[in-house]
Structure 1
Amino acid sequence: MKFTFNHNNINVLDLEKSLAFYKENLGLVEVRRKVAEDGSFILIFLGDGITGHNLELTWLRDWSKPYNLGDNEFHIAFHVDDYEGAHALHKKNDCICYENEKMGIYFISDPDGYWIEIIPSRR
């Protein structure tokens, strides 16, 4: 028996703002969408165009307050082939929330406050 990753899910308050953030800052694009017949939710799966792993954004029509992220100790991580270029983009977009220069990584925060770790691809 072998298990492989399929997707991770996060809930978002403003779907359009989140879609724009993930496209602009990480190059993720919509690969699939499911809209509830009654309009109560929308699921959008975002992909990087390289791996089969997706990020599922869930928007709930009846949810109107920010999500409680607890201590925000969980995160999503991405390798990037141009670390300096990514850092410049994220600095320009004012979404860097934490840098660890000693480890050579940094984190950005999405519109809902989820942290995303940016890791340089190993050379």
Structure 2
Amino acid sequence: MKFTFAHNNINVFDLEKSLKFYKEALGLEETGRIEPEDGSFIIVYLGDGVTGHNLELTWLRDWDRPYNLGDNEFHLALKVEDFDAAHELHKEMGCICFENEAMGIYFIADPDNYWVEIIPQDK
């Protein structure tokens, strides 16, 4: 028996704001969408165009407040070829929330305050 990754899910409060962020900050593109007729939720799958792994964003129509992420220990991690250019982009966007220069990594926060670790491609 072998398991392989399919996707990770996060719930988002403002879907359009999140879609804009993930496209601008990480270049993720929509690969699929589920919208039931009753409009109670929308699921959008985002991909990097290289791997088969997707990030699933779920928006719930009746959710009326930002999500409580607790201690925010959960995070995604993405590798990038041009680490310095990525760092500059994220600095300009104002979304860097933590830097660990000794490890050569940093984290950005999305509109719902989910953290994304940015790692140089060669690590």
What TM-score comes out, normalization by structure 1 length?
0.99
Give the letter aligned to residue 115 of structure 1.
W
CA deviations over 1:72-97 (Å, ceiling 9, x no partner): 00100000000000000000000000
Residue 30 (structure 1) aligns with: 30
Match of 2:119 in 1: 119
Q: How does 1:7-46 map to 2 (within 5 A)?
A: 7-46=7-46
Paired residue type of 2:15: L
State the 4+ residue runs in structure 1 displaced beyond 2 angstroms. none
SS in 1 for 2:71: coil
Structure 1 gap ranges (5+): none
Query: What is the aligned partner in structure 2 of residue 95 from structure 1?
Result: 95
Deviation at residue 37 of structure 1 after TM alignment:
1.7
Residue of structure 1 equivalent to 2:105: 105
One-letter amino acid matched to 1:2? K
Aligned twin of 1:55:
55
Q: CA deviation at 1:64?
A: 1.3
TM-aligned CA deviation for residue 119 of structure 1: 0.2
Pair 1:81-2:93 in alignment = no
Give SS of 1:57's match: strand
Q: State the distance in 1 between where 2:114 and 2:36 align.
A: 25
**Distance in 2 (alpha carbons) for counterparts of 1:74 and 1:12:** 15
For the residues of structure 2 that align with 1:114 and 1:36, how far apart are their CA atoms?
A: 26
TM-score normalised by L of structure 2: 0.99
Deviations 1:31-53 (A, max 9, x none): 00000221000000000000000
Code of the residue aligned with 2:62 in structure 1: it is D
Instruction: Report SS of the residue matched to 1:56.
Output: strand
Matches of 2:71 and 2:45, distance apart in 1: 25
The amino acid that maps onto 1:113 is N
CA distance in 1: counterparts of 2:116 and 2:64, whole angstroms: 23
